[in-house]
Amino acid sequence: MSHHTSESNDFNAGDFLKGFYFTKLFKGFSNAIKPSKLVLALMGIILMNVAGWLLDSLTPSHSKMINNVNQVSSIGEKNHLTAYLNNPAGTDIEQFNHRLLTDIEQRLNQLADNKTSSNTYVSIDETYRKNYKVSVETLEKWYGFRTKYINDAYEKSSELAGKKDSEKQKELEDLKTKQISELDIAYRTLFKAINTGTLSDWDEKNYLRKMIIVNDRNSQADQKKEKTQVEIDINQIKDTVRYAQMKSLAKARDGQGLFSALKDFYGDNFYATAQALVFEQDFGKVKDNIVSAMLALCWLTRFHPFFAILLILSWLAVWSIFGGAICRMSALQFARDERIGPLTALKFSSDKFFSFFTAPLIPIMIVLVISLILMLLSLLGTLPLAIGDILTGLLMGLALLAGFIITFIVIVFIGGVNLMYPAISVEGSDHFDAISRSFSYIIGRPWHMLFYTLIASIYGAICFFFVRLFGFVMLITVRGPVQAAMAFDDASQIDVVNKMDLIWPSPSFQNIHPDVNFMALSGSESIAAFFIFLWTWAIAGLILSFAVSYIFSTNTTIYFLLRKHVDDSPWEDVHLEEDADLNQLIAQEDQIEESQANQETEASQPPSQPLVEPQPTQDQGVETSSSSELPEDEDKPIELEPMPEQQQDETPPSSDDSNNEDSDNKENDYKPY
């Protein structure tokens, strides 16, 4: 007891090494990689995306994100979110979007030759699809012509050189290989241009006009005819590139959903933070990314408050079920090495849904209520006759106190919100107990919390990149043999592009799940690409599910460590649902047994009055001591006969009360009233 009273809250490095408690964090990988947890996390991710896409579809056009695609505007920022992160105080969303939309419309009019009537996204996309199909056929035609021209030139030169001149033959072979390789690069560049809308002047001059579409040296009439067709085909390719640019601009003008924009931002932010921790060891960059993530939430609540409320509520609803289930599984595994199934964990989180859902909301609501009261009291400053100024000065102390409370709650909430779900899962308590425990542990052991969070973050980043590398190698291992087999089949475009490159673009370590261009595929190839898209999406989702599972599992471990430091609770102390059910059943059985015992006792006791009324005596109210005046039958219940000697000898010794009770019962058996 004296140890706890004298213990200081100051940072002590020796406390961390005592018992090596922090080494329990290194079980986070094995805890998070459980298939049942990954499935729960994946289900939560899917529901979050469904809810986000639904919110995006209901978001009005004026509230969507306008992106500065291809740096079409001189603003320099990608969108208003990035502009706000760079300058939170001086970025007005209406002015920013108005300027960006003006630049986009101006560029669209230039590309459309100032014909604004057909600048809608639907009409531009329809025209682009038609031009795209024709352009692919044009490239295929010219690639075939150029390949044939190179092969014919090689055969003719080889025949002239003679087969005996091996050096000349090798030189011609190398020249042919080089020309075919350059032709392949030219085609791939032009194909990318009609997909992305980016064609530089150098690419047009060297690839389009010199390698793909060129004039053959035929007769004058054929050259004139061919030159006309050459210009038509070149303009066809350039028009397709132009419509691809217009399509991206029209899409940017119509805006991006807020959920999609935030998903892209936080995905890049998370990856950059993990990379800075593992590969760069740049803690300054880690701090900047964390601050940017918090500022992004501030941006959402400031400029899109209604959307922020709906998104936060949907987020809490989803993770109250699936996050609470993961925490429950982690709690039993850590404390008692018990493994429960996902259905049992989901039942627990469903029963505790209200506590999971409201625990993070209550501190936020308290801050909002205090802020509202502070705003209402500030209205007193508007009173006339200098009364308002005086009241403002007098009540400033109360306002500062409110500011202190708000700041305290916000700081402790940010540090301890990740302990609320583990507290409910471990203790089986309600939201108030979860808030109390998380706040008290943060206040009692802030340095421990910081140390454990740092260790868990670094270790988690390493584990995340390992899982990502595993998934990437697995995809490449599968794609390689399939691509080699697909090389024997022609693709929808031309032979230079392998069919696998179309239906399954090559993944990278940073982009596990690249997009598929379905416009370049046939019907059967589109179906194959769709199913491959779903399978690769599942792999990418499981990689992200590991990160989610690791966060909830490790937060549960950190809760156990802090509880050990603050409360000195045993590791195995965890709430068990079966114990609660058993105690309730025992209480019910005890109540039933007590009720039955009371009924038996009442049934075994003699009545308070004899069954036969005694005859009244002459002296009313005076009790007669003589037994001769009473009926013979009524005398027997009063005077009990002693038990026979033989029966007395066989009866074990007992207390007086029990003997009397047994005697009464025996008398009642054969001596009725």
CA–CA dist 103, 76 (Å, integer):
12
Average pLDDT of 185-205?
A: 80
Q: Which sign, positive or negative, has the C-alpha torsion 200, 202, 203, 204?
A: positive
Instruction: Retrieve residue 552's tokens.
Output: 């909830």
pLDDT at 212 over 80: no
Using pLDDT thresholds of 50, 70 and 90, give the confidence band for residue 420: very high
* Burial class of residue 595, CB neighbours in 10 A (0-12, 13-18, 19+): exposed
Average pLDDT of 201-214?
A: 72
Using pLDDT thresholds of 50, 70 and 90, give the confidence band for residue 633: very low
* 3-class secondary structure, 570: coil
Amino acid 90: pLDDT: 66
Amino acid 582: pLDDT: 47
* Burial class of residue 94, CB neighbours in 10 A (0-12, 13-18, 19+): exposed
Q: Give φ, ψ of 33 to 5 degrees.
A: -85, 0
Q: How far is Cα of residue 195 from the mean position of the Cα atoms in its chain?
A: 32
pLDDT at 322 over 90: yes
pLDDT at 185 over 90: no
Tens of pLDDT, residue by residue over 103-135, are 888 788 777 765 545 677 788 888 888 888 888
138-162: string of b/e by CB count within 10 Å (b at 16+)? Answer: bbbebbeebbeebeeebeeebeeee
Amino acid 586: pLDDT: 54
The 10 Å Cβ neighbour count of residue 324 is 28
CA–CA dist 455, 433 (Å, integer):
27
Query: In 3D, which of 322, 325, 316, 406 has the Cα closest to residue 363?
Result: 406
CA–CA dist 394, 374 (Å, integer):
14
The one-letter amino acid code at 90 reads: G
Decide if 246 contacts 254 (C-beta within 8 A). Answer: no
Tokens 């194909």 locate to: 191
Tens of pLDDT, residue by residue over 598-618, are 766 666 655 545 444 455 544
Using pLDDT thresholds of 50, 70 and 90, give the confidence band for residue 148: confident
Q: How far is Cα of residue 668 from the mean position of the Cα atoms in its chain?
A: 76
Tokens 């140890």 locate to: 3
3 state SS for 445-514: CHHHHHHHHHHHHHHHHHHHHHHHHHHHHHHHHHHHHHHHHHCCCCCCCCCCCCHHHHHCCCCCCCCCCC
- pTM of the entire predicted model: 0.72
pLDDT at 627 over 50: no
Instruction: Retrieve residue 596's tokens.
Output: 């039955």
Q: What percent of the chain has pLDDT over 90?
A: 22
Instruction: Retrieve residue 426's tokens.
Output: 């471990």
Amino acid 138: pLDDT: 85
CA–CA dist 189, 201 (Å, integer):
12
Tens of pLDDT, residue by residue over 442-465, are 998 899 999 999 999 889 989 998
Amino acid 216: pLDDT: 54
pLDDT at 624 over 90: no
CA–CA dist 190, 143 (Å, integer):
11
Q: Give me the half-sphere count of Cα atoms (radius 13 Å) on the Cβ side of residue 513.
A: 16
Instruction: Retrieve residue 62's tokens.
Output: 């004026």
The one-letter amino acid code at 438 reads: S
Longest alpha-carbon distance in the chain: 162
CA–CA dist 466, 274 (Å, integer):
12
Using pLDDT thresholds of 50, 70 and 90, give the confidence band for residue 19: low
